[in-house]
A and B are shown apart, each in its own frame.
Chain A
């Protein structure tokens, strides 16, 4: 039972080996010529114009929050889908109420314009 996960353990071992091995090989074998330009944060090749430490728009937060809410909703749909045939009409009605409740939320969010990015 637990030995079913042995390939994952081997995979994780290779990941760890790679993650430690490649940077240390690079540090050991590569030439090192530091310069101020090389220490700059990489920003698609252009020179950074301002500090990255500034406040982001609250829209990111709303989007993440709404993502979690509908992510949790979809999580409930997965176990429901596995036994939908046994539950028959009861299951359809049950999940219908669940989705309808959250649909009210989606409509509210939509009407309030939280899905628009401006």
Chain B
């Protein structure tokens, strides 16, 4: 289990490097498909089957279609790459620093903790009426999708409804930004 998770994480990291280091933009996009698929497998190994399906359908499917279309639309050439100089190292240091910070805080249980104090606190705030812990066996017995749906459509009803507004803004924005100007102004 842990070994499998390690292999999948390694493949995700390698393909993520491929995204950054590929000379061809389309190869980066294809590497990103592998990365997103590996993240989906990590979801699966973490007993989040619904998120696995969503990750495949939304990210590896729809979002990648959009990325490939954008590559075709903007048609970036290999020589359009920015030069690699001392400013790049600032970016690399920032990304590495934030990544290490996230991992350290996660290890200390600030962002998540199975049954620890912080997790229980978040649980009381976000969902005072239900137990916050969702052990794999209980979730699988009730059904993974049903458990997600039960939380999504009752506890998190406001974020869910706001999502529709977000999608509405995205739809209007996409059409507005790409509209053709018919008037002479």
Contact = CB atoms under 8 A, between A and B. Distances in A.
Contacts, number: 132
B185 interface: no
B66 A82 contact: no
A61 B152 CA distance: 30
A67 B62 contact: yes
22 contacts: A53-B75, A58-B73, A59-B178, A60-B69, A60-B73, A61-B66, A61-B70, A61-B73, A64-B66, A65-B170, A67-B66, A68-B170, A79-B148, A79-B152, A82-B149, A83-B146, A94-B153, A102-B164, A102-B171, A105-B167, A108-B171, A108-B172
A68 B173 CA distance: 13
Interface residues of A, number: 44
A75 interface: yes
B contacts with A: majority SS: helix
A61 B178 contact: yes
B175 A101 contact: no
A80 B153 contact: yes
B174 interface: yes
B174 A82 contact: no
Given A67-B65, A71-B61, A105-B172, A112 B179 contact: yes
Contacts of A83: 146, 149-150, 153
Interface string A37-79: 0000000000000000111101111101111110111011011
Interface residues of B, number: 47
Contacts of A66: 171, 174-175
Interface in B150-182: 150, 152-154, 157, 160-161, 163-165, 167-168, 170-172, 174-175, 178-179
B32 to A, nearest CB: 15
Contacts of A108: 171-172, 175
A73 B65 CA distance: 17
Given A67-B62, A101-B161, A108-B172, 5 more contacts: A55-B72, A55-B74, A64-B62, A105-B172, A108-B171
Contacts of A82: 143, 145-146, 149
